[in-house]
């Protein structure tokens, strides 16, 4: 059963909120960070970020559910695009959550991976092997490590922007420039804690956009995120006035999504290029659009628009 943890910080509580809450509530720091991200922790009556520096006199209130146990293996169909002794690359379908979280304790990609031979390894115990994530509604390629060393090397490569990730998206409206770079910091929305937004003081976020085809009501684009912020492509395109079609969180034109029979955001991780963490060999993998996105794109094209001149 959830319990309330409430205290007024004293001189021994100074530090980041996630660390202070973990010590006070007797939970792991990762669990504390998840509670804060879910908006279950308030400082002086207001939702607080995990990076908040706790000062003496602050009143902290948290609703703390029991810490979940380790994820369990589940027989869930999963298509593997590449596999060797160090890693595998999977084609995640839309609708599959990557790892267990509040509200999704089972039926995730991690549960599926744990049912395979060559178990994932490295990183947090509730998300073993996960190097980067895709939103539940996003399909496409994901790297999973099979050893601690491979995980550490791949996470370093991601942080150093040495892993190329290419997405295909259908954006609302017509994007005029052929290419654009969206360089805008992303953080949690100050108005809706479950959403991300472009905010002053947010973490650096850079996305490069290239127009593939302009259509009557939308633009088919390639997106290359240089950083890995939560919902980055979705937030950046929405901030530019061209949200991903079918995005119920950040989108503006639900009628367009309905006309295209889209039940999910039109966002697909189509290509990964990276150096193998053990051999150094270049791994270059591609995954075509899934059938429901191909159909939606065909309908959008039928309503007008033509390919750009090369």
CB 217 within 8 A of CB 245: no
* Structure tokens, 47: 């939702």
* Structure tokens, 140: 């496409």
* Structure tokens, 180: 């654009």
Backbone phi and psi for residue 173, each to the nearest 5 degrees, phi listed first:
75, 180
> In angstroms, rounded to a whole number, what is the distance separating the alpha carbons of residues 152 and 129?
10
Question: Which residue reads 């094209």 in tokens?
Answer: 301
Q: Are strands 139-145 and 267-275 parallel, antiparallel or unpaired?
A: parallel
Instruction: Please pick, among 135, 253, 258, 261, the residue that the annotation labels catalytic.
Output: 135
Find the helix packing angle between 29-37 and 17-25, rounded to 10°. 120
DSSP assignment string, 116-167: SSS---SS-TTSTTB-S---TT-EEEEEEESSHHHHHHHHHHHHTT-SEEEE
Is 248 tagged catalytic? no
Strands (E), the chain: 3-8, 15-16, 41-43, 46-47, 53-54, 59-64, 79-83, 87-92, 139-145, 164-172, 179-183, 186-188, 196-198, 206-215, 218-225, 267-275, 282-286, 305-307
Question: Which residue reads 């509730």 in tokens?
Answer: 126
Q: Which residues are catalytic?
A: 135
């Amino acid at each position: 059963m959830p319990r309330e943890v409430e205290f007024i910080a004293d001189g021994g509580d100074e530090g980041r909120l996630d660390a202070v809450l973990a010590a006070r509530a007797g939970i792991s720091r990762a669990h504390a960070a998840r509670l804060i991200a879910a908006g279950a922790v308030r400082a002086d009556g207001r939702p607080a970020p995990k990076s908040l520096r706790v000062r003496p006199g602050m009143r902290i209130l948290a609703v703390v559910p029991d810490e979940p146990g380790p994820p369990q293996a589940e027989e869930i169909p999963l298509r593997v695009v590449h596999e060797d002794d160090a890693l595998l690359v999977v084609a995640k379908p839309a609708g599959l959550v990557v790892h267990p979280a509040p509200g999704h304790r089972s039926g995730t990609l991690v549960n599926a991976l744990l049912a395979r031979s060559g178990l994932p390894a490295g990183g947090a115990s509730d998300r073993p092997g996960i190097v980067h994530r895709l939103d539940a509604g996003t399909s496409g390629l994901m790297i999973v490590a099979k050893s601690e060393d491979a995980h550490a090397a791949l996470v370093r490569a991601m942080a150093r922007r040495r892993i190329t990730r290419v997405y295909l998206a259908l954006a609302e409206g017509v994007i005029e420039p052929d290419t654009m770079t969206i360089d805008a910091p992303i953080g949690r929305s100050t108005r809706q804690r479950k959403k991300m937004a472009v905010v002053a003081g947010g973490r650096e976020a850079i996305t490069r956009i290239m127009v593939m085809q302009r259509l009557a009501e939308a633009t088919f684009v390639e997106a290359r995120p240089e950083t890995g912020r939560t919902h980055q492509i979705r937030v950046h395109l929405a901030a530019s006035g061209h949200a991903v079609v079918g995005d119920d969180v950040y989108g503006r034109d639900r009628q367009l999504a309905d006309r295209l029979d889209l039940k999910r955001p039109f966002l697909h991780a189509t290509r990964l290029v990276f150096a193998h963490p053990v051999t150094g060999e270049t791994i270059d993998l591609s995954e075509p659009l899934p059938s429901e996105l191909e159909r939606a794109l065909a309908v959008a094209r039928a309503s007008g628009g033509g390919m750009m001149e090369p």
